Amino acid sequence: MAEGDRNVAVLVGSLRKGSISRRIAKALIKLAPEGLHCEIVEIGDLVGYNMDLENNVPAAWAAFRDRLRKAEAVLFVTPEYNRSVPGVLKNAIDVGSRPYGASVWEGKPAAIVSMSPGAIGAFGANHHLRQSLVFLNMPAMQQPEAYVGHAAELVDDNDDVKIEGTKTFFTDFMAAFEAWIERTARN
Ligand code: FNR
């Protein structure tokens, strides 16, 4: 990471090996402007949130919180489960939000890319996620919106976007996110 780069944590809302969301996340990272240092932060080993565990914090929770504290912005790339946010991603958000008053999300600029192999592009997940970001006090980029439909056909095995129009859209989206971070980040 070069000096002056923005440290962006990328959270993927799917755990499976063949995840299309993960491939889209990697494609977005490749198309990010030079000033954004984007890295996927894993969420699969975070045990389900239970406040009792705050007395003896699981190592995976502590590592996740430490990693997110270093991030200056967060990019969410997620599928939709039953018209909402997949439980694993919601759990990561919950883990990062506690203990009360020590949220790792506080004030950090965010952007959301939702995806689906279907036509609607996970609009429901995208907007349910936005609801949590309001409470977490994360300024979420409004435009451009990214509801990626028919997502299975978009990215090849090298994590490159196959369709020129989509590549342009992803490039513009990441450039807009950089501008959004510069406008809304606290430091
Ligand atoms: C889905 N899927 C789905 N798709 C959608 O567009 N809207 C939805 O509400 C749902 N609901 C849903 C629930 C559950 C439990 C599963 C497992 C799947 C389909 C989903 O978009 C598809 O499996 C994606 O490929 C998941 O993303 P990854 O794993 O490929 O990144």
pLDDT for 77: 99
Q: Are 146 and 173 in contact (CB under 8 A)?
A: yes
| 19 close to ligand 1 (CB < 6 Angstrom) | yes
Our answer on whether the CB atom of 20 is closer than 6 Å to any ligand 1 atom is yes
pLDDT score of 187: 85
Residue in 82, 90, 126 to alter for ligand 1 test, most ligand atoms within 8 A of Cβ: 82
How far apart are the CA of 84 and the centre of ligand 1, in A? 10
CA distances 140 to 1, 3, 83, 90, 111, Å, are 24, 25, 20, 16, 6
In this prediction, the residues of the chain whose per-residue pLDDT falls under 70 are none
**CB-CB contact of 22 with 79 (8 Å):** no
Type of residue at 39: E
pLDDT of 14 reads: 98
Q: How far is the CA of 186 from the centre of ligand 1 (A)?
A: 35
User: Alpha-carbon distance 51 to 133, whole Å?
Assistant: 21
Ligand 1 atom nearest residue 79's Cα: 27
Distance CA 59, CA 182 (A): 33
Q: Residue 70: its pLDDT value, please? A: 97
User: What's the pLDDT score for residue 1?
Assistant: 83
Considering only CA atoms, which residue is closest to atom 13 of ligand 1? 81
